[in-house]
Every structure is written in C-alpha cells, then in structure tokens.
Amino acid sequence: MIQIFSTFEHSMYLELAITALEKYGIRKERILVVPLANRKEERNLFDTLHRADGVSLIDIGMAMATGFSVIGASIGFILSWGPIYWGLIGAASGFVLGFCIKLFYLKTVDKKKQLLKGEHAEVILVVDCDDAMAERVEDCLWDHLAIGVARSPI
C-alpha cells in the first residue's frame, strides 16, 4: 500500500479528481480530503531576531538614500553648507522617503494581494492505493491540476 499526498486549490478540479479516482476503483474510504485554514492574523512588518519573513523595509530606502546623497553632494558644491552636509541631508531624506514608500506599499497594495490570495484556500488530498495503481493515481492528480504530489509508503 502507498499513500499519495497532493495539494489542490479549492476548485472544481478537486471534485473532478476525486470522481476520476472513484472511477479507477478507489473506494471513498481510501480518499481523505483536508481543507487548510487561512491565516487570520495580520503579518508583522518588523522582523525579530527569531522570526523573519523575508520582506525588507529598507531596500527602497537605501537605494533612494544613495541617489539623494549623490544629488545632495553635487548640489552642495554651490550651496553654503558644502557637499558633505548636503550629501548627509540627501541620504537621510532619501532613506526616510523610501522607507515611507515601502511601508505604504506593504500596508495598502500588498495587503490587498494577500487578502485576494487568501480567498483561494488549498486542500490536501490523501489517497491510499495499491502499488500497481500508484502511477495511475499520480497521473490522474497531475491531469486535474494538482499543485504538488508526493508518495509515501505506509
């Protein structure tokens, strides 16, 4: 006996895959469908030492700080405080502006994408089948647009 695990989006293709598996002779007792719950809480914007999500808030700020400091230093040659002060002022203002742009983007635009993505919950489908049927079951799941498929001997 082999267990085949697959993930699907909650759609008609999942129903079609289950129907096709039943037509292949796999009983309903051998098919397990588990819907995954979506995350309800909001993501933290600031990472901690023990948990990071891979989203950087300072990437645009650093790029804009570099550009603004070059512009500030160039203009500083004709202004009264000189190029060093105006370069530092440009770097600070560019970083703050870039940080605010990224923060605004993550709070509004990216949050809307996450909410839309969250509506399409994934479902795990577990099928117990014989070794002889395993290849056929896998092909059936791939044909019905499974996101991923894996085998595990019982």
Burial classification of residue 52, based on how many CB atoms lie within 10 Å of its CB (0-12 exposed, 13-18 middle, 19 or more buried): exposed
Average pLDDT, the chain: 86
pLDDT digits (tens, 9 = 90+) for 119-132: 566 899 999 998 88
Residue 147 exposure: Cα atoms within 13 Å on the Cβ side? 12
Nearest in space to 2 (alpha carbons), one of 135, 124, 122: 135
**pLDDT, position 7:** 93
**pLDDT, position 88:** 97
**pLDDT, position 57:** 82
| Three-class SS state of 104 | helix
Q: What is the mean pLDDT of residues 143-154?
A: 90
Nearest in space to 4 (alpha carbons), one of 12, 24, 98, 53: 24
Evaluate if residue 117 carries a pLDDT over 60. Answer: no
